[in-house]
Amino acid sequence: MIVATALLSRFPVGRLGKNAFDQNIEKGFVPIFFPLVGLLIGGVLYLAASIVQSYLPSLPFIFQASLLVLMWVWMTGGLHLDGVADFSDAMSSGVVERNKLLEIMKDPRCGAFGVVSVLGVLILKLVSLSWILQHSLFWALIIPVIARGATLLWPIFSRPMSHGMAAHYFSDIKPSIYVISYTVLLGGICLFDWKAGLLGLIVSLVVFTYLFLKVESRLGGFNGDVLGASIEWTEVFILLSIGLYYGI
């Protein structure tokens, strides 16, 4: 759990988290704790939203959403947004050769497609969250959990690339463990709120399927940037789906 927290967030986790990449642990089990990191992030968002609505009830929802989105980005250190930018730059480049696509993803410079994608993610989160906060705070808690749980789909259907974070943490365990973990996660959410579980399943599967087809055809496997993009876009489309649900 400590290593997973160090990988996916900026929460202080002590000396163990400083060199998480090199820790001598059962690395294949680390991703199983990704949804718990999401619960930690969602818990902070839920608490912050509750405090704001309790003590500043007249604050416009767009400003409440702005505060939450800023906290959301800060807690993850922009790590997943970096994945969105790198993935978008590579997939929109028109390049076909796999090695060149990976070079684009490793390039620290951000291209136009990356900038537009990151802005799109932030704007869509801001707008949809400002609408959802008028109806329920529950989704601020559960969406980060579902999105990080969806990363468990990648080792089930695809394979990590030979280098980087994905290879380091997704190569040492049988896919069946991830199947069980993902099933338990959705089952737990459904027990708490079956609508959340069902919606999370549908949206995460749709986003995963789209990204999976794109990644398999052009990269032949997933890496940390793909996982980051998967998390961000899953969060965005769940937010949009909930916003539409409350708008109907």
* Per-residue pLDDT tens over the stretch 87-133: 999 998 888 788 898 899 888 888 899 999 999 999 999 999 999 99
DSSP output for 148-186: HHGGGGHHHHS-B-SSSHHHHHSSSS-HHHHHHHHHHHH
* Per-residue pLDDT tens over the stretch 123-161: 999 999 999 999 888 888 889 988 998 888 888 888 888
Task: Evaluate if residue 175 carries a pLDDT over 90.
Answer: no
Q: H-helix or E-strand containing 103?
A: helix 98-106
Is residue 116 in some structural domain?
yes
Q: How many domains does the chain have?
A: 1
pLDDT band at 181 (very low <50, low <70, confident <90, very high): confident
Q: What is the chain's mean pLDDT, rounded? A: 85
| Mean pLDDT calculated for residue range 72-80 | 92
Per mean pLDDT, which of 20-24, 192-196, 235-239 is the most reliable? 235-239
Is residue 2 in some structural domain?
no
Structure tokens at 173: 């365990």
* Per-residue pLDDT tens over the stretch 216-239: 998 888 988 999 999 999 999 999
Is residue 4 in some structural domain?
no
DSSP output for 51-84: HHHHH-TTS-HHHHHHHHHHHHHHHHTTHHHHHH
| Res 17: pLDDT | 55
Is residue 179 in some structural domain?
yes
Is residue 174 in some structural domain?
yes
Is residue 17 in some structural domain?
no
Alpha carbon distances (Å) from 64 to 15, 25, 120, 139 = 34, 40, 19, 14
pLDDT band at 22 (very low <50, low <70, confident <90, very high): low
Q: Taking the alpha carbons of 240, 214, 145, 228 in that order, is the dihedral positive or negative?
A: negative
Is residue 28 in some structural domain?
no
* Per-residue pLDDT tens over the stretch 35-57: 889 889 999 999 999 999 999 88
Range of the domain at 94: 33-247
pTM of the model: 0.90
| Res 236: pLDDT | 95
- According to DSSP, the residues that pair with 48 across neighbouring strands are none
In the block, residue with structure tokens 């749709």: 206
pLDDT band at 20 (very low <50, low <70, confident <90, very high): low
Is residue 60 in some structural domain?
yes
